[in-house]
Amino acid sequence: MSKLEDIVSLCKRRGFIFPGSDVYGGMAGTWDFGPLGVSLKRNIMQEWWSFWVDKRDDMYGVDAAIIMNPRTWRASGHVDTFNDPLVECKECHGRFRADKLVGGATESITTEAFLAAKVKCPTCGKENWSDVRKFNMMFETHVGAVSDETSIAYLRPETAQGIFTNFRNVVDTIYPDMPFGLAQQGKAFRNEISPRDFILRDRECSQMEIEYFVKPDEWEKAFEMMRVEHLKFLEKVIGLPAEMLHELDVSAEDRAHYSKKTIDIMFDYPNGEEELMGLAYRTDFDLGNIQRESGKSMEYRDKSTGEAFVPHVIEPSIGVERLVMAVLSAAYCEDEINGEKRTVLKLPENLAPYKFCVSPLLKNKPELVEKAREVYEKLKDKYTFVTWDDSGNIGKRYRKQDEIGTPKCVVVDFDSLEDDSVTVRDRDTTEQVRVKIAEL
């Protein structure tokens, strides 16, 4: 099992992920994606969009505004219920999530249960705590020129409500057959009490969510379809090992306020088993609330029977950063090649930032560089995600490309000038074969 500190070190060293605002000392719970991290993240997001939207006839995309009318969050229940249990150490005034300090605790932990656990402050080691209180995680802001109670708005804590508020617009414009889904990718913001574990729990993240609208009596069939298809997506498309994925049927007291059934798909991260994504049956909670709050009908009229009803919803929700972290955790490994320790990211080829690295054997030989450039341009035109590397000796180039997950290294040598073939070296096996340039 990979160690969290090793993955964090590699990510910064190789340009995947940097601490947010690093030049100014950083900002807790924020992370910046570097050149390779952006490519990996976008590849993952594109695979999700291709699987769930582009290749299906029952799915459509939307892209809603981040700042929404604040009535959205009152109707959804977030103003009243989007809370984490907060405790404060009276000695050092450190603030923590109470449930994360007590093994096996849930978000509904009480003051009595917390104090009974005899927890010592992780910062100062004292045991002098405040009562557990609810802390709303939405970021509050103001819209317009005046900052008062009438201008309060929120950065969205989830992308789901942007889908629900556009349900009527979609039905009125394209009138899709039931069942159908609306998908969205975008930023979400949560004022986490104690962000931790690298990009697993941060204050700004990207989400990929679907709201799948169904007839009320058909939710179980749709729920099972989503469960099976998401495991297929995670294993077959994203390449996560099945043995590292686990399903958790969430108990009633731990489910979100809108959910009647939730299954969390857990993953074996370096720091232990953590939630990767959630699959929730939201009933008609959201559309029903919008209908009451707005006074506008959220009913769907069946095309064949004429029956009118407020659809129920199945929601799969994935945090992109958590999925990136899962991919990195599964791919990171260390081995030995000819007695030398090697770090390698065995990324699936469809996710790797680069598919090929092209190198001249020697960078001070113009004829090799020219030939290598020809090969590079050919591969770049065909595969797009191709990099060039002529720094250091060939062994160091291989090690660098292994660390960033490049599946194949292509080397142009003196024989290439005679027979129009190159050496192709495999990242995982380190085996090398000669291949005709025309066959690359």
The CATH number that applies at residue 55 is: 3.30.930.10
Q: What is the mean pLDDT of residues 393-409?
A: 95
- Do 287 and 173 share a structural domain? yes
Q: Which of 296, 329, 362 is the last residue of a domain?
A: 329
Is residue 318 domain-resident? yes
- Do 193 and 53 share a structural domain? yes
The mean pLDDT value of the chain amounts to 93
- Do 409 and 316 share a structural domain? no
Is residue 378 domain-resident? yes
- Do 211 and 309 share a structural domain? yes
- Do 272 and 202 share a structural domain? yes
Q: CA angle, 269 as apex, 266 and 274 as ends, to 5°? A: 35
Asked if 322 contacts 268 with a C-beta cutoff of 8 angstroms, the reply is no
- Do 203 and 298 share a structural domain? yes
Is residue 108 domain-resident? no
**Please, which residues bridge with residue 378 across strands?**
none
Is residue 74 domain-resident? no
**DSSP sequence for 66-121:** SB--THHHHHTTHHHH-EEEEEEBTTT--EEEHHHHSTT--TT--HHHHHHTTPPP
Strand, coil or helix: what is 195?
A: coil
pLDDT at 394: 92
Is residue 292 domain-resident? yes
170-174, 285-289, 317-321, 339-343: least confidently modelled range:
339-343
Is residue 103 domain-resident? no
Q: Using CA atoms, how far apart are residues 187 and 31, in angstroms rounded to an integer?
A: 13
What is the number of structural domains in the chain? Answer: 2
Is residue 100 domain-resident? no
- Do 159 and 260 share a structural domain? yes
Is residue 111 domain-resident? no
Give residue-wise pLDDT tens across range 121-167: 999 999 999 999 988 888 999 999 888 888 999 999 999 999 999 99
- Do 391 and 297 share a structural domain? no
Strand, coil or helix: what is 398?
A: helix
- Do 274 and 379 share a structural domain? no
- Do 430 and 322 share a structural domain? no
Give residue-wise pLDDT tens across range 306-334: 999 999 999 999 999 999 999 999 999 99
- Do 325 and 366 share a structural domain? no
Range of the domain at 301: 4-68+155-329
What is the CATH number for 394?
3.40.50.800
